[in-house]
Amino acid sequence: MVQLTNLRNHEALMTAQDPIHLYYWPTPNGWKVSIALEEFALPYEVTLIDIGKGDQFAPDFLEISPNNRMPAITDPNGPDGAPINLFESGAILQYLARKTGQFYGSSPREQIAIDQWLMWQMGGVGPMAGQAHHFLKYAPDPIPYAKNRYRTEVARLYGVLDRQLAKSEYVAGDSYSIADMAIWPWASLWEGQEQSLDDKPHLARWLKLLWERPALRKGRALSADLRKDKSDTWVQDDLKSAQSL
C-alpha cells in the first residue's frame, strides 16, 4: 500500500524496512515512475514534492536530486544491499527494469530498441511537449512564435511515434516496456499540446491500449486530486480511480 508522507519524515521512514521511497508530484515526469513502480509491483512510499511551493529546492531533497527536479527515488536495498538515491526518470526506469528483470526485453537487441525509444522520449517528447504546455497554457504573455514552434515540433514527434506504432503493437516492439511507460504520460496530454489524433490512428490505438492496464491507471491516478490542470482526456478517470484505491 502506498503511504503519503512529507519530506521531514524521510529519515524516520528509511530506518524502517524497505519499500522504495518515491519523491513525486502528479506531472508526466512523476507518472513515469509511479506507473513503473505499480507495473513492477514494487512496494513504495511517497513524499510529495510540491513543485508549485518550491519543495524541490529543499536542502534535504537536493541531497537526493541535485538538479532540483522530481521524480527521484531512494532504494534502501540498492546494489550490494546498500541504499541508493536516483534522480532522472529515464535512469530510474532503467534501474528498476534491471533490478526486477521486467519490461526491458529478453535480448541485447530488444534492450537496444527500448533504450533508443526511452532516450527519444527523454531528449525529444518530454522537453518539447513541456515547452508546448508552457507557452500554450501558462506563459504570462502570448508569444506566437514559441507557440507555433513547440506545437509544430510535438506534432512532428507524434508523427514519428505513429509511424513506429504502425509497425509494432508497442513502441519498441511486440512487448510492453519501460519505453511505453516513459512516453505514454506525455502523449496522454495531447489535447493540452493542441494536437490531433485524427491523422494518427496508431498512436490513438496505443494510448487506449495502455490505458486498459490497471497498473498504469493506478500509477497515473496517484495524487490526481492535486493536479492544477484537470482538463485532459483521462483526468476524471484519474480522480475516480484515486477515490477507489
pLDDT digits (tens, 9 = 90+) for 116-128: 999 999 999 999 9
Q: In this structure, what is the dihedral angle of CA atoms 236, 188, 29, 101, given to the nearest 10 degrees?
A: 110
Q: Beta strands 72-75 and 20-24: pairing type?
A: antiparallel
CA–CA dist 203, 170 (Å, integer): 10
pLDDT at res. 237:
54
Q: Is the pLDDT of residue 143 over 90?
A: yes
Q: In this structure, what is the dihedral angle of CA atoms 74, 75, 79, 85, given to the nearest 10 degrees?
A: 0
pLDDT at res. 239:
42
Q: Beta strands 44-48 and 72-75: pairing type?
A: unpaired
Q: Mean pLDDT for the chain? A: 90
Phi/psi for 26 (5° steps) reads -75, 80
For residue 173, list its beta bridge partners.
Answer: 170
Report the share of the chain in percent with pLDDT over 70: 86
pLDDT at res. 12:
44
For every residue of 188-206, DSSP letters joined together read: TTTTTTT--STT-HHHHHH
Question: Residue 245 — very low, low, confident or very high, per pLDDT cuts 50/70/90?
Answer: very low
pLDDT at res. 106:
94
pLDDT at res. 232:
52
The least confident of 17-21, 30-34, 177-181 is 17-21
Residue type, 6: N
pLDDT at res. 231:
56
Question: Residue 228 — very low, low, confident or very high, per pLDDT cuts 50/70/90?
Answer: confident
CA–CA dist 72, 164 (Å, integer): 30
* Mean pLDDT, range 179-194, rounded to an integer: 97
What is the tens place of the pLDDT at every residue in 33-74?
A: 999 999 999 999 999 999 999 999 999 999 999 999 999 999
Q: Is the pLDDT of residue 6 over 60?
A: no
pLDDT at res. 11:
47
Half-sphere exposure of 244 (CA within 13 A, CB side): 11
pLDDT at res. 51:
95
